Amino acid sequence: MGKLKGRRETSLVLLILLLLAIVTLRSPGFVSGKNIQRIVNDTSILVMVSLGQFFVILAGGIDLSVGSMIGLSGMAASLMNEANPAIPAIVVLLAGVVIGTALGTLNGFIVAFGKVPPIIVTLGTLSVFRGLTFVLSKGQWVTAHEMTESYMKLPHGNLFGISNLIWWGLLVSVALYYLSNYTRSGREVYAIGGNKTAAKFVGVNERKINMMIFTLSGMVSGLAGVMWTARYAAAVNETATGFELQTVAACVIGGVSIAGGSGAVPGVILGALFIGIINNALPVINLSPFYQLLIQGAIVLFAMLVNTLSSRRRAHKLLQERLS
């Protein structure tokens, strides 16, 4: 399994390098250090939220509410910053994370104790959370004029010449890599996604895992909501609408099985970066942004086909080994 993951990630790295080479033919400055850092910066929020989505998909579920959690958390944090400018920006950030965590916990509770499929639960809360955003804001926006400088600097500051947003993305990536690879809970997520019946037989608590993964998804969505509104200096009611599709795309492109049980953090990061490069490359090659969804959808379909064929080949190989 480890070798298979390594091959997929290596293939994705080569594909990214090929994409960069093609775009560079049209615009030599595209691969400059400054532009690469800008692409990574642009993709950091997608990386964070995709990693939260990764754990949900890994366990055999899906979280369609991440975009709405980003929107609600970001709006709540922005309104708090507007109403109480004296509150330190880091406290507002923590408040946004807490709100996102609470929303994710609600999703997890309904899935774990209500025995409702994740796709149904999060399809419902997608609308509920978006509606709450409109109710909370009364349909109004929070713009740069209402935000404090310290709040807007949360993603824009830098350390060692690297933006804070990239550091936040790196922090989330390292933490979730450790969780998935070096903890019992991480192994249990893989176990449930691979075979729920077998996982229960060896004592894995499915309710606990469902609570954990959806809470985790909400937590990173809350962080992303604050970073999103601070970065663009605007909290609008439609913030991150449809963003859940990009997170699923990043996971699938990164080699995560949509059926659960297979995938890795590095692959998801590479999948998100691949999407980020495409989004930044379209204007450079004079291709209309309207093609973005078309290209992204085609890549996702291709990635799912590759994942399915790889899984079948692996299953066939295991069967042959057992029969020989």
Segment 265-306, tens digit of pLDDT = 999 999 999 999 988 888 777 777 677 778 777 877 887 787
How confident is the model at residue 11, as a pLDDT?
83
| Strand partners for 162 | 159
Distance CA 48, CA 220 (A): 6
Residue 54 to residue 265: CA distance in whole angstroms: 8
CB 58 within 8 A of CB 260: yes
Cβ proximity of 222 and 73 under 8 Å: yes
Q: Give the pair of three-digit tokens for residue 78.
A: 């922005």
Position 255 pLDDT exceeds 80 = yes
Position 97 pLDDT exceeds 90: yes
Q: Residue 122, Cα to own-chain centre: how many angstroms?
A: 15
- Enter the DSSP assignment of 88: -
Pairwise CA distance, residues 227 & 20, whole Å: 27
pTM of the shown model? 0.91
Residue 100 burial (CB count, 10 A): 31
Q: How confident is the model at residue 181 (pLDDT cuts 50, 70, 90)?
A: very high
Cα(first)–Cα(last) distance of the chain, in Å? 20
Q: Domains of the chain (ranges plus CATH)?
A: 2-23+34-323 (1.10.3470)
